[in-house]
Amino acid sequence: MDLDTVIARLLADEAVVYPTSTLPGLGARPTPKGLDAVFALKARDDRKP
């Protein structure tokens, strides 16, 4: 995925996976929709951050 695609997805409040020195990271903009996207991918209850 190129940088323009990553930026577009972040601006659309979607989650992205990115490399780190150990494990892949999962992130999004800190907006309600962005956080919902991360919680949905992790199948996590939004009442348990």
Amino acid type, 1: M
Per-residue model confidence as pLDDT tens for the chain (49 residues): 789 999 999 999 999 999 999 999 999 999 999 999 999 999 977 777 6
Q: What is the pTM of this model?
A: 0.76
pLDDT score, position 1: 79
pLDDT score, position 44: 79
Amino acid type, 2: D
Burial of 49 (0-12, 13-18, 19+ CB in 10 A): exposed
